[in-house]
Amino acid sequence: MNDASHVAAANLPVEIILRKMRIMLRIGIHAHERAPQPLSVSVQARGMIPPAPRDLGDVLDYERIRNYVQHDWPQRAHTDLLETLAVDLLGFIFQDPRIGEAEITLVKPDAFPETEGAGIRVRLSRSAWRELYATAAPDNSAR
């Protein structure tokens, strides 16, 4: 066994979950969507942590993601597409180098009266993120 595989095997795989966070956001292509409307945000992010975590710095911090969505997103100008938000949030999540894959679900619960919601789900690995957005990724480094 080489050193790299020994280190990987010594880490603990963890998935952090944020389910159905509700925020009010100006999102959508229709004129009536210029006003804030409810958006449900779910995140699952998988990564590796030390086998015996001792403090918050050792673990994947879901509160960091929650704070970004709850505090930064409502300050945004109107956004037409859910996909724009998904790409932004993936960029933010992948700032933590320990996260190897993330899945984001964005649902507008009031989009259509005959549905419980309409939205998108995006799942991406870190390597796919780098391939797709290496030069075009939004810069969330200051957040």
Q: What is the pLDDT of residues 71-115, one digit of tens each?
A: 999 999 999 999 999 999 999 999 999 999 999 999 999 999 999
pLDDT digits (tens, 9 = 90+) for 13-67: 999 999 999 999 999 999 888 999 999 999 999 999 999 889 888 989 999 999 9
From residue 48, give the alpha-carbon distance in Å to each of 8, 53, 61, 82, 87. 8, 11, 12, 28, 22
Residue 135 confidence (pLDDT): 66
CB 84 within 8 A of CB 35: no
What is the spatial order of strands in the sheet that 99-108 belongs to?
Answer: 12-25, 37-49, 99-108, 118-125
The H or E element that residue 119 is part of is: strand 118-125
